[in-house]
């Protein structure tokens, strides 16, 4: 075809032949050659229909290179105004491609709108798959983007998502779906309910009536387990007081269990439908290595292994890695692009730094340098190394030597650092920030994990942390929560750093009956007291946390940003 194009009688004929050759190369999975040939095509010399075809092909090749912005540019060609005049097949191909490009570019609302627009062109399984894709997109939208008074199909989708997100229990969500369907009987989602929502009805018909709480009552983890258990039972009693019909709770002591198989046999004999626990990492690792579990289980810790584990196993904990990822999310949302990091020396610090690095770099951020904090006497040197202060002193000395006269020079830090990621104990953090000031780096914003905060009433200890931003559980940032007030009145220690475990216990109780719900509705969240909770594809619960800042020794809550 390329030879024919070279000898074509008209530019239009040559462009058409080259376009056919590019399309053939693309269908043969030779993207490089397809792009090379397409680059020789003068699109404006083609007929309008072929201009649409060429622009679509160009966008497909751009998506193959993971360049959604280039794809959207190609799909913005003036010829797209004539798309509706072309075959249904071409319209579907172009609209679906644009939807994928918009989604890849982070424009979820626009991607959903594009799919809604293309919906009437689709039939059968294609229409069902499109409905599922629309639901995945709209169910992940932040609340402010769901506000719509429109009565068209897109408005209907947004209203459906808003109704379901506003409902708490499975029963309330099912009632919201039924009410929405009654009001929108001809909407595509009412005629063909997305798969995830259809699954909710099956879940609603099988309520959980008995839960086993599996925690150690002796050993090193007994104090941690006690806080988790008290939080869990506090949530249970609150549900009873609210007039709900919560499942029965049977407590098992994991420190006395010699075999998980024997435990599951006991639990099944007792009619248990869901297990919450164990807490011990070795037991979680053991469960994660199995092919399947006899009862759905919400472990209260994470396995260190990378394999996904059995389908019946869910994992939830106060992972420091969640907070490292949260710092990356917030700093990026705040417009930061380059970072340095300080973490404790050891395995914990390595894990936290690795989680931050991966999340930060995945967003496009740059991690310039990192230091591992160990001995306080080394801190000044480590801060100086991070900000290359010794380099500036060396430059001043060289200049002074060359000039032969005394030069007044204040050390200057490198200027390409937008912020510091800090994971540290309260004692370490209270040394690091003043050291930064002393080392002429006090103007660098610090974003920290919650580990530097104890919720102490001693405001003097926070004066050295002025300006530091940190993520923290809603439990410690919102003293007005009614259940928190009840719990701290009974167990005063829950008002301090131990409160994070009480919050986790409460959230474990609220999560347990909604695990299948979270699995059926990807990207949905539960606003808990340990964070905003979601389920990742590996069935691990991840937390997104609110933010605060130290101001004059006090903690000020910061406005939230979109997920």
Task: Give residue-wise pLDDT tens across range 403-425.
Answer: 444 433 345 556 789 999 999 99
- Section 482-507 average pLDDT: 95
By the 10 Å C-beta count (0-12 exposed, 13-18 middle, 19+ buried), 271 is classed as exposed
- Amino acid 167: pLDDT: 74
Final residue belonging to a domain, choices 315, 342, 360: 315
- Pair (29, 175) in one structural domain: yes
Q: Is residue 540 part of a domain?
A: no
- Pair (117, 242) in one structural domain: no
Give the strand order in the sheet containing 419-422.
Answer: 366-373, 338-344, 419-422, 446-448, 469-471, 547-551, 554-557
Is residue 436 over pLDDT 90? Answer: no
**Residue 191 structural domain:** 2-203
Q: Is residue 529 part of a domain?
A: no
Is residue 542 over pLDDT 60? Answer: yes
Whether the model pTM is above 0.85: no
CB 316 within 8 A of CB 278: no
CB 414 within 8 A of CB 390: no
- Pair (304, 388) in one structural domain: no
Residue 123's CB: how many other CB atoms inside 10 A?
A: 9
- Pair (143, 275) in one structural domain: no
Final residue belonging to a domain, choices 188, 203, 218: 203
Q: Is residue 409 part of a domain?
A: yes
**Position 323 confidence tier, pLDDT thresholds 50, 70, 90:** very high
- Pair (369, 455) in one structural domain: yes
- Pair (251, 195) in one structural domain: no
The domain tally of the chain equals 3
- Amino acid 144: pLDDT: 79
Q: Is residue 235 part of a domain?
A: yes
212 phi, psi to nearest 5 deg: -95, 130
CB 420 within 8 A of CB 342: yes
pLDDT digits (tens, 9 = 90+) for 199-208: 777 777 677 8
Q: What's the rounded Cα separation, in Å, for the pair 161 and 179?
A: 13
- Amino acid 398: pLDDT: 42
Partners of 532 in beta bridges:
527, 544
Q: Which of 46-60, 63-77, 404-418 has the lowest mean pLDDT?
A: 404-418
Q: Do β-strands 274-276 and 296-299 pair in parallel, antiparallel, or remain unpaired?
A: parallel
- Pair (175, 233) in one structural domain: no
- Section 35-58 average pLDDT: 82
CATH number at residue 309: 3.40.50.2300
> What whole-number percentage of the chain has pLDDT above 90?
57
Is residue 549 over pLDDT 60? Answer: yes
Is residue 41 over pLDDT 80? Answer: no
- Pair (131, 245) in one structural domain: no
Final residue belonging to a domain, choices 171, 203, 235: 203
- Pair (256, 393) in one structural domain: no
310 phi, psi to nearest 5 deg: -70, 155
By the 10 Å C-beta count (0-12 exposed, 13-18 middle, 19+ buried), 518 is classed as buried
Six token digits for residue 338: 């380059």
**Position 15 confidence tier, pLDDT thresholds 50, 70, 90:** low
**Position 379 confidence tier, pLDDT thresholds 50, 70, 90:** confident
- Pair (294, 327) in one structural domain: no
Q: Which residue has the higher pLDDT, 521 or 98?
A: 98
CB 247 within 8 A of CB 209: yes
- Pair (397, 354) in one structural domain: yes
- Amino acid 400: pLDDT: 45
């Amino acid at each position: 075809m390329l030879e024919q194009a070279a000898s074509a009688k008209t530019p239009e004929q040559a462009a058409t032949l080259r376009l056919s050759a590019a399309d053939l190369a693309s269908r043969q999975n030779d993207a490089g050659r397809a792009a090379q040939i397409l680059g020789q095509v003068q699109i404006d010399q083609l007929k309008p229909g072929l201009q649409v075809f060429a622009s679509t092909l160009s966008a497909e090749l751009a998506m193959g290179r993971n360049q959604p912005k280039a794809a959207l540019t190609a799909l913005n060609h003036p010829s797209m105004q004539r798309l509706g005049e072309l075959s249904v097949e071409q319209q579907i191909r172009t609209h679906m491609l644009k939807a994928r490009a918009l989604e890849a570019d982070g424009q979820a609302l626009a991607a959903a709108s594009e799919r809604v627009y293309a919906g009437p062109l689709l039939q059968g399984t294609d229409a069902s798959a499109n409905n599922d894709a629309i639901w995945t997109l709209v169910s992940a939208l932040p609340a402010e983007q769901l506000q719509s008074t429109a009565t068209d199909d897109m408005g209907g989708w947004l209203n459906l998502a808003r109704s379901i997100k506003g409902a708490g229990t499975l029963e309330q969500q099912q009632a919201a779906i039924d009410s929405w369907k009654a009001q929108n009987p001809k909407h595509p989602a009412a005629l063909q309910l997305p798969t995830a929502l259809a699954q909710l009805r099956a879940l609603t018909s099988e309520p959980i009536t008995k839960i086993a709480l599996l925690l150690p009552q002796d050993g090193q983890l007994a104090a941690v387990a006690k806080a988790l258990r008290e939080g869990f039972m506090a949530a249970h009693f609150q549900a009873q007081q609210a007039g709900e019909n919560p499942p029965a709770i049977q407590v098992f002591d994991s420190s006395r269990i010699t075999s998980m198989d024997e435990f599951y046999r006991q639990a099944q004999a007792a009619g248990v439908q869901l297990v919450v626990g164990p807490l011990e990492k070795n037991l979680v690792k053991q469960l994660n290595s199995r092919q399947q579990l006899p009862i759905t289980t919400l472990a209260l810790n994470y396995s260190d292994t990378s394999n996904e584990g059995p389908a019946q196993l869910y994992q939830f904990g106060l992972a420091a890695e969640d907070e490292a990822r949260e710092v990356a999310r917030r700093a990026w949302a705040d417009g930061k692009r380059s970072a340095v990091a300080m973490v404790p020396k050891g395995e914990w610090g390595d894990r936290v730094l690795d989680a931050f690095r991966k999340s930060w770099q995945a967003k496009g951020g740059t991690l310039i340098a990192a230091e591992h904090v160990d001995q306080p006497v080394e801190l000044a040197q480590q801060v100086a190394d991070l900000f290359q202060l010794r380099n500036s002193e060396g430059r001043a000395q060289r200049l002074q030597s060359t000039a032969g006269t005394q030069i007044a020079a204040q050390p200057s830090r490198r200027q390409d650092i937008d912020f510091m990621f800090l994971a540290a104990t309260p004692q370490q953090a209270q040394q690091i920030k003043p050291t930064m000031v002393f080392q002429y780096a006090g103007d660098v914003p610090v974003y920290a994990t919650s580990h530097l905060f104890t919720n102490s009433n001693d405001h003097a200890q926070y004066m050295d942390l002025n300006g530091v931003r940190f993520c923290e559980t809603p439990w410690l940032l919102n003293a007005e929560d009614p259940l928190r007030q009840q719990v701290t009145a009974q167990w005063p220690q829950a008002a301090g750093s131990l409160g994070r475990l009480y919050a986790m216990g409460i959230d474990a109780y609220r999560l347990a009956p909604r695990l299948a719900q979270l699995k059926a509705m990807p990207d949905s969240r539960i606003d808990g007291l340990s964070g905003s909770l979601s389920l990742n594809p590996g069935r691990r619960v991840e937390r997104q946390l609110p933010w605060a800042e130290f101001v004059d020794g006090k903690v000020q809550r910061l406005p939230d940003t979109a997920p």
